[in-house]
Amino acid sequence: MKQILFEQLENHYDEMVEIRRYLHQHPELSFKEVETAAYIADFYKQLGVDVQTNVGGNGVVARIKGGKPGKTVALRADFDALPIHEETDVSFKSLVPGVMHACGHDGHTATLLVLAKVLHGMKEELSGEYVMIHQHAEEYAPGGAVSMIEDGCLDGVDVIFGTHLWADAPYGTIRYRKGPIMAAADRFEITIKGYGGHGAQPHKTKDAIVIGSQLVMNLQQIVSRKVDPIESAVLSIGSFVSDNAFNVIADSARIGGTVRTFNEDVRDIIEDEIERIVKGTCLAAGCEYEFEYPRGYPAVVNHDAETEFLVTCAEEVPENTNIVEAKPEMGGEDFAYYLQHVNGTFFFTGAMPDNVDHPYPHHHPKFDINEKAMLAAAKTLGWAALKSQP
C-alpha cells in the first residue's frame, strides 16, 4: 500500500506544482478567500468526492471513505494569503497587487488536494475515513480553525496530522517535537491619554511620549523579573505612534506589541503584569490610559504518542533524509485548536529553495519554497494517515 501511495503521488507531482502556481497567482486575504474556496470545492466535485463548503466561514471539508472499516483520520491545510506586495521574479507571481502567498499556504493546499485525489483513487482498498480540512484564515486571529471546529469539521475524527512547509529548513528535513512546538501569540495595545501643549512649555503638559517611553522600558522587566527563567516568553513592542509636529508635545500616544508564551500560567502572569505596569506608570504621571489585550492562538501542543508515530512514518519516506527534533518556534498557528479537541501532531517539512544559503523568511515579499517539498509532505501525511489504520 505504501509503495502504491508513493508512486501515485509521484505520478501527480506535476499537477501538484500546477495547482500551487495557480493558487500563488490568485491569492486572497484571510476571511476573503471566496474564489480559493470555490476552486478547492470544485476540485473535489470533479473527483466525485463528498465536499462541504462554507464550513465555519470559507472553510471546505471533503471526506473520503475507504472500502473497509477503520479509524477516521483528519489532515489539514490552510489557504489564505498575506497583505504583502510580491517582489519575486518567478513566472507565476501574484496577479493581485498587495496580496501574496508569502507563507506557503498555496503549497499546503496543493499538497492536500493531490493527496486527496490519490487516496480517492485507492479508496476501495483503504480502511477508515479521511477528512480533508481546508482551512481559511490562519494568518489573522481569531482564525478559521475555531469556527470550523464549531461547525463540525472534527466530528468523528480519531487523529489529526498537519504540516507546514518550512523555508528555513533544507529540503529533506522533517522537524518534529513532542509537547509545545509553536507559541501562544497574543497582542496588546495601550493608549496613553496625556495633556499636550507647546514644545517650549513642557511644564504645562503631561507628555504622552515621555510617559510612553517610560512604559516601554518598564515593560521590559516583566520577562526578566516576573517569569520563571526556566519558562520561555517574549514581550516585544512593535509600534509606538504619536502624530505631532516637532514643536508640539504629544497629547496621546499608542503602543502596540506582542506576547509569545508556551505555558498558560505564564500567559496569565504577563497579561496581568502589563496592565499593572501600565496602570502604575500612568498613575504616577497623572494621566489616563486604555488597555486592550486580545488573546490570539494558544500554543500548539503536540501529543506524545502521535508524534512518535509520525516519526516512524516519516522515516519510511525516501525524501526525508534528515528527521530531527525541533526547537520550539515562537510563531503562532491555529492548528493549536484542533489539538485541543483531537489527539495529533503538527510538524515542519523542509522547503528551502535549492542553491540558497540564506532563504527569505516567511512573510517576506521575496519568500519562496522548494516545490519538491510538497511531494515529501504529501508522502509523509499520506503514509501517516494510512498507517494509522488498524
Tens digits of residue pLDDT in 68-92: 999 999 999 999 999 999 999 999 9
Cβ(52)–Cβ(105) under 8 Å?
no
Give Rg (Cα) of the chain: 24
Domain covering 188-292: architecture: 2-Layer Sandwich (3.30)
pTM of the model: 0.94
Grid cell in block for residue 55? 464550513
Beta strands in the chain (DSSP E): 50-55, 59-65, 68-78, 127-135, 159-166, 173-176, 179-182, 184-193, 197-198, 233-241, 248-249, 252-261, 288-292, 300-302, 322-325, 344-350
| Catalytic pick among 80, 106, 186, 329 | 80
Exposure of 365 in the CB half-sphere (CA atoms within 13 A): 9
Q: Kindly tell me if the per-residue pLDDT of 106 is higher than 90.
A: yes
pLDDT for res 196: 96
Cβ(295)–Cβ(142) under 8 Å?
no
Average pLDDT over residues 328-354: 97
Same CATH topology for 2-182+299-387 and 188-292: the answer is: no
pLDDT for res 125: 97
Average pLDDT over residues 255-277: 98
Cβ(389)–Cβ(127) under 8 Å?
yes
pLDDT for res 49: 98
Q: Which residues are annotated as a binding site for Mn(2+)?
A: 103, 105, 139, 164, 363
Q: Kindly tell me if the per-residue pLDDT of 169 is higher than 90.
A: yes
Cβ(119)–Cβ(126) under 8 Å?
yes
The CATH code belonging to domain 2-182+299-387 is 3.40.630.10
Average pLDDT over residues 354-364: 94
DSSP codes, 235-255: EEEEEEE----TTEE-SEEEE
pLDDT for res 357: 86
Grid cell in block for residue 141? 486571529
User: How many C-beta neighbours within 10 Å does residue 365 have?
Assistant: 14
Q: Which residues are annotated as a binding site?
A: 103, 105, 139, 164, 363
Grid cell in block for residue 178? 513532542
CA angle centred on 262, ends 258 and 267, rounded to 5°? 60
Average pLDDT over residues 158-164: 98
Average pLDDT over residues 150-156: 98
| Catalytic pick among 33, 86, 129, 138 | 138
Annotated active-site residue 28? The verdict is no
pLDDT for res 261: 98
User: How many C-beta neighbours within 10 Å does residue 107 have?
Assistant: 29
pLDDT for res 121: 98
User: What span, in angstroms and rounded, lies between the C-alpha atoms of 179 and 328?
Assistant: 9
Q: Where are the domains of the chain?
A: 2-182+299-387, 188-292
Annotated active-site residue 125? The verdict is no
Average pLDDT over residues 195-201: 96
